[in-house]
Structure 1
Amino acid sequence: MPIEISTASPSSLASAIRSPSSLENTDPTDPTDPQPQYIIFLASLLNRTSWCPDCRVVEPLIDRYFQGNGEAVRNARVIYVGDRATWKDPTNKWRQEPFYISGVPTILKVVGEKWERLYDDDVVNEAKLKAFLGVN
């Protein structure tokens, strides 16, 4: 199952991930036990290739842990933050409230009201990525 590529605005995306109806349950018998949602912020593609070297390195890991057949993580969507010039602009919409993304790649994990992030070099470190995702 491919990861959803989101074109939502920052405010629409923030509202969607905060909505209880957007959460799936890890335990179907316990509606208060939400499964984490992940938002993966990557550099935009040019001719099907990312302009960001770290994003190119992390793409196979994203495929493995978010789309793979093994212990794949669900509830994920990708946000492309723009081409290099758009991303470097301090007014880039993803650098602003509520996300405040400062570098790509960044993975945001949302569980209820709690937001955690893994970014830059930590995303390309497979051991750190697996720990963040809670996979073996």
Structure 2
Amino acid sequence: MAVFPPQPNAQGVSTSFVVYYSSVDESTGEMWCPDCVRAVPKVAALLDSPHAPDVFIQYVGQRSEWKSPSSPYRAEPYNLTSIPTIVKLEDGVEVSRLADPEFNEEGALAAFVFGTQKQEVVKPLVMVGGNGKVCTDDFCEF
């Protein structure tokens, strides 16, 4: 559970994060932004972590509101250019941000929040045989 205002760490710095998502489309019951929908499980896993930081969620509005040049989230103090975006705050001041498309890259969110190395994703080996059949390390089409 997030505490507001965030509590200082051992160095006396209060660190928190704000995740900006699209709002939920009332006609579908889901966020209108597919990138935001893909990000939700990653953020949920982050919040379930035993060392979860303070994370606050902010919805930027419906598609027409977000796409409008007059969206308040596109101007100061937010200056968002894409969603989802996560902003790191120290003592209430932005120190860094991670925005889409990097937000949804494997391991990027954990690396951003916890300062860990981003995990490399090993792609399965794909071979196309002389017969045009596709094989990977765990599947072969015959």
TM-score by length of 2: 0.71
- Of Structure 1 and Structure 2, which has the larger fraction of its residues in helix? 1
Residue identity in the other structure for 2:102: D
Counterparts of 1:125 and 1:72 in 2: how far apart (Å)?
A: 21
Counterparts of 1:78 and 1:33 in 2: how far apart (Å)?
A: 24
Q: Structure 2 unaligned segments of length 5 or more: list them.
A: 117-142
Counterpart check, 1:121 vs 2:101: yes
Alignment correspondent of 2:37:
56
Counterparts of 2:5 and 2:38 in 1: how far apart (Å)?
A: 30
Alignment correspondent of 1:132:
112
Identity fraction in percent: 26
* Correspondent of 2:9 among 26, 31, 42: 26
* Correspondent of 1:99 among 64, 71, 78: 78
RMSD between superposed Cα atoms in Å: 2.2
Alignment correspondent of 2:121:
none
Q: 1:71 to 1:125 in 2, by over 3 A?
A: farther
Task: Give runs of ≥4 in structure 1 deviating > 4 Å.
Answer: none
Residue identity in the other structure for 1:23: P
Alignment correspondent of 1:45:
24
- For residue 50 of structure 1, report the CA deviation from its aligned partner: 0.8
Instruction: Work out which structure has the larger RCO, using CA pairs closer than 8 Å and 6 or more positions apart in sequence.
Output: 1
Residue identity in the other structure for 1:122: E
Q: Is the 8 A contact 2:20 2:58 kept in 1?
A: yes
* Correspondent of 2:60 among 81, 94, 111: 81
TM-score by length of 1: 0.73
Counterparts of 2:94 and 2:56 in 1: how far apart (Å)?
A: 17
- For residue 72 of structure 1, report the CA deviation from its aligned partner: 4.4
Equivalent pairs, count: 113
